[in-house]
Structure 1
Amino acid sequence: MVRHMENNQPELDAVFHALSDPTRRAVVQRLTQGEATVSELHAPFDMGLPSFMKHLGVLENAGLLGSAKAGRVRTCTLNPDRLNAAERWFEEQRAFWQGRYDQLDGLLASLKGETDET
């Protein structure tokens, strides 16, 4: 019997889309160390600021980061709840497949027992 898993989760789709790009993953990784200004986040990347801002927009739309503006300085912070949702999805997948592997191990052991008895 095939177990149907709910895959229509737009928020999770947005998180995986946002994390599909190495620049955005690097920004998320940097924000795990604490908040940072857009200038600080942009500094390591060899791209124009408008292009980099598009990356931040994708992360913000996915709910992975928040930002606040004080004067001309925009500061970004990580929203770990969205990462936790992706982690839970991976844990569900791991549990599902571990159960399948356990069933396969049991079947192989029983088949081996039948072979050894003949």
Structure 2
Amino acid sequence: MNEDDVAVARTIRHSPVMLTGSQIKTLRTWARIETQDELGRRAGMSRATVARAEKMGDKLPDHLSVANMISIVKVFEQAGAQFYLPQGEALEQGVHIYYPPRPYPLPALEPKEEPSG
């Protein structure tokens, strides 16, 4: 474990669920929260805080307080996401996320024009 990992562990050790920047961005899209500003408003933080978290990619956003991470997780739980740890797996492997299907209206198909010939 390097110094960065130790710093992250100190920040997040009491949080029930930690999400990477990529997971936050993916969940935001899934929850149909269109902007970082909207997620920030719902979670009680600034757009800049959400943007910085999403920019972390596959790393944990170490700048987020435990309270901020919990607020983000609660927004996604309210949208229907479920976070779980399969029996026998360690937290260091990460939590699993279940995204219930979201019905998206399918666009009407345009009829294909037959080539004249």
Instruction: Give TM-score, length-normalised by structure 2.
Output: 0.35
Who wins on radius of gyration, i.e. which is larger? Answer: 1
Q: Which has the higher helix share?
A: 1
Q: Which has the higher strand share?
A: 1
Instruction: Give TM-score, length-normalised by structure 1.
Output: 0.35
